[in-house]
Amino acid sequence: MNKFLIFMLLPIMAFSQMSIHDFEELIKIKEYQKAEPLLVQYLENTPNDLQAIELLGDVYGHQKEWDDAIDIYKKLVDSKPNTANYHYKYGGALGMKALSVSKFTALGLIGDIKNAFLKAAELDVAHIDTRWALVELYMQLPGVLGGSRSKSLQYAEELEALSKVDGYLAKGYVYEYDDEPKLAEKFYKMAIAEGGSLNCYNKLTAFYENEKRPQDAIKNIEHAEAQHKRNALHYQIGKVAAEYNVELAKGEACLNRYLEQYSAKDGVPKAWAYYRLAQIETHQKNKEKALKYIDLAIIELPKIKVFQEHKEAVLKL
């Protein structure tokens, strides 16, 4: 065969060998822009492959292309109206669009969002994500639009029947949202006692921060680190110490430990650890050290506005 023809055919041959698993792997590593055209092309040849259609909807969702995601999930709902997960994803995409448009436009989406989640819950009595969506939806909607704490708690009860941890976390969310901190703290602690996952600890930490209880937040993060041994938790301790000007020596030690043990899987770039160290030194009026750390942060991530603003504040010390 002509070498030029072989060269031209290589991309087609490579594409023809791609499988659903290949697309899932691209999504797993967050290569959404690469996955999108490949899935579109794949579906031109296999337009009825529902799994590929769903993956394309997921890709659009990950890229916040809500209208495209809505169109894809609506197609799935129409094709298989008794599949709970399709209704859940359709409702989720509508919900995310509602958050990105004007309040007037969002009002017109609420009915469809609610109906999609309720249908998913009806179709699958064990669908945890749908019940979480309903807990949050009923708490966040104003009463005149159907918001209801009692309905939110109803779905939290359903969650608890499926998963005690999710039920406790959902109740913690409801009571925190409704400004009942004692009950919220109780249920977040129950979730930790029941499941002990990092997510459970994070929910309680966020609650303490929202309640302006930084020392309780630090204590909780320390308990999480003792259980899970995650380097990222060292950063979290340093962040709370720096933001609230408490336990500065502990915060500094944890940030230095984070930098010493840093790897990409820790999630938070080193620049932010340098920024937190600069904050700690600024609290202590150590101008020279604060400048050193904020300059390191800026070298790592020069376009972050808050770093530049902090440097200006340090220079005024």
Give the model confidence (pLDDT) of 246-274 as tens digits.
999 999 999 999 999 999 999 999 999 99
Query: If one looks up domain 230-317 in CATH, what number appears?
Result: 1.25.40.10
| Interhelix angle 164-177/198-210, nearest 10 degrees | 10
**Which amino acid would we find at residue 51?**
Q
**Which pLDDT does position 276 carry in this prediction?**
98
Q: What is the pLDDT of residue 59?
A: 96
Give the pLDDT mean for 40-49: 90
Span 12-17, mean pLDDT?
47
Q: Tokens for 235?
A: 């950063």
9 pLDDT above the threshold of 60:
no
pLDDT at 261: 97
Exposed/middle/buried for residue 177 (C-beta within 10 Å: 0-12, 13-18, 19+): middle
Report whether pLDDT(207) > 80.
Answer: yes
> Could you tell me the two tokens for 135?
């807990």
Q: Is the pLDDT of residue 12 over 50?
A: no
Q: What pLDDT digit, counting tens, does each position of 269-317 carry?
A: 999 999 999 999 999 999 999 999 999 999 999 999 999 999 999 999 9
Lowest mean pLDDT among 39-43, 59-63, 101-105, 141-145: 141-145
Q: What is the pLDDT of residue 20?
A: 80
Mean pLDDT of the chain, nearest integer: 92
Is residue 17 pLDDT above 80, yes or no?
A: no
124: left (phi over 0), alpha (psi -120 to 50) or beta: beta
Nearest to 206 by CA among 248, 247, 177: 177
User: Measured between alpha carbons, how far is 34 from 23 in angstroms, rounded to an integer?
Assistant: 9
- 59-85 pLDDT, tens digit each: 999 999 999 999 999 999 999 999 999
The mean-pLDDT minimum among 41-50, 241-250, 282-291 falls in 41-50
Tokens of 165: 């941890």
pLDDT at 4 over 60: no
3 pLDDT above the threshold of 60: no
Ramachandran class of 42: left when φ > 0, alpha when ψ lies in -120 to 50, beta otherwise? alpha
Please, which contacts does 190-199 make with residues 24 or more away whose CB atoms are closer than 8 Å? 191/165, 194/164, 194/165, 194/168, 195/164, 195/165, 196/227, 197/165, 198/224, 198/228, 198/230, 199/169
pLDDT band, very low/low/confident/very high, at 165 (cuts 50, 70, 90)? very high
Residue 310: name the closest of 246, 194, 298 by CA.
298
Q: How many other C-beta atoms lie within 10 A of the C-beta of residue 17?
A: 8
Token pair belonging to 24? 């899932």
What was the pLDDT predicted at 1?
42
Supply 23's token pair: 């697309």
Reduce the secondary structure of 249-295 to three states and give it as a string: HHHHHHHHHHHHCCCHHHCCCHHHHHHHHHHHHHHCCCHHHHHHHHH
Using one digit for the tens of pLDDT, what is the confidence trace for 106-131? 889 999 999 999 999 999 999 999 99
Radius of gyration of the chain (CA): 24
Would you say 127 and 84 are in contact if contact means Cβ atoms under 8 Å apart?
Answer: yes
Taking alpha carbons only, the member of 71, 63, 66 closest to residue 37 is 63
C-alpha 72/C-alpha 59 separation (Å) is 10
Token code pair at residue 190? 């129950």
144 vs 298, more confident: 298
C-alpha 311/C-alpha 317 separation (Å) is 10
Confidence band, pLDDT 50/70/90 cuts, at residue 33: very high
pLDDT given for residue 146 in this prediction: 83
